[in-house]
Structure 1
Amino acid sequence: MYLQHSSAIWSEFPELVAGAVVAVGVSGRADVDERIARFTAVAEARLATSSEAEFPEIQAWRRTFSKMGLKPTQYRCASEALLRRFKKERVLPRIHPLIDLCNAISVAFAVPVAAIDLERVEGGLDVRHAKGDEHYLTFGGDTEHPAPDEVVFADAAGRAHARRWTNRQSGYSAVRESTRAVVIVAEAMHESARDDVPALIAAIAEEVGAAWQTTPRSAILTAASPRFEFDR
């Protein structure tokens, strides 16, 4: 299997820094409370001194959404949506230990993090502009078709596993109790992303490896080396 961003994405968004972690052997049974507390404490400290809208990580994604023709206060990147919820409730929703851990790391770094069940992916994942005929399954069970040129995570079967890039994942490949193999993707656009994304990816690999007693593989993707190949 593989994960890659298209050449058009790298050309249009040269500031992109992307990384991925592949982990096999995860489950819905792991104690991640202490790990979540450490990362959410980082987010809480940042939010105590400034609004999430002022974070350079969030501002960069807002500019990206505007460049894609999307109103950034209507369609928010996943990390901004999580930070807004965390600021209001001071706690993140609990869904699945892996998702909960990824969400905590996401708010700590203010960078979108997506965890995708590899058993639900056909062939590989291409982050590319949509053709408009891809199938996207909402969490409510409805099927949508991304707009042409919208940035999606698409597989060989024509499924869109995310819409509007970092805005919304698919219910089809969301992590669930039966999930055993995942690819976790983080993408950023801000000035210090070249340092922050590798640190984020290292944190995910370390925390997932320790929590599930597995040895994840990871990669940083670039325009010169855009493809990460792996087994599930």
Structure 2
Amino acid sequence: MRTLYIANKNYSSWSLRPWILLRVLGIPFEERLVPFGKDYGFSPSHRVPCLVEDGITVWDSLAIVEFIAEHHAEVWPADRGARAWARSACAEMHSGFAHLREICGMNCGVRMALNEIPPALRADIDRIESLWADGIARFGGPWLAGEHFTAVDAFFAPVVFRIQTYGLEVNRGTRAYVDRMLHLHEMREWYEAGLAETWRHDGHEVDLAKYGRIVEDLRAV
């Protein structure tokens, strides 16, 4: 059996990536949610996500995606050029956009007003908009690498929630993609589960206060 260990859905952007990919593609797995602050000894890195299958342990979201792709070709686009683009975009998301991560941490259940939009954050947002527009224009949409949802859409799913949480200003094309993602059944499923969580993680909550203020809290008490 394939088991995916994840953390709180309200906060865990890294967990969302393999989870949403498996759910949208209909690849069966057992979910085990271990809240932040608990023992993550099941993972060699002591972090989530972590996948265990047939006695094999795979950690880190990108490694998990590649492991799943070995037996499920639909994880990546069928076209070689689209596949190369999608892998490059995933790798850029995996290693980049530090200012977006720092200032706009994932917190699905609140709506935030940022104190400011620093130039470095604006540059990250602009690059994401350019990247998304490039993929949709090259491969015809409606998803980033073509007709079907693939790993590259999964990797940018946390950005979609960040745009919603922080009310980030984006252009019309970006907004259309964000709306498409937010209306995806599996994204709604993750979001609603995140709202229902009653856990609070001090580190994530403190990070919110560094850069803005909560204007609406939709989470369960």
Query: What TM-score, normalized to structure 2?
Result: 0.28
Which protein is richer in strand relative to its size? Answer: 1
Say which structure, 1 or 2, has more relative contact order (CA 8 Å, 6+ apart).
1
Which protein is richer in helix relative to its size? Answer: 2
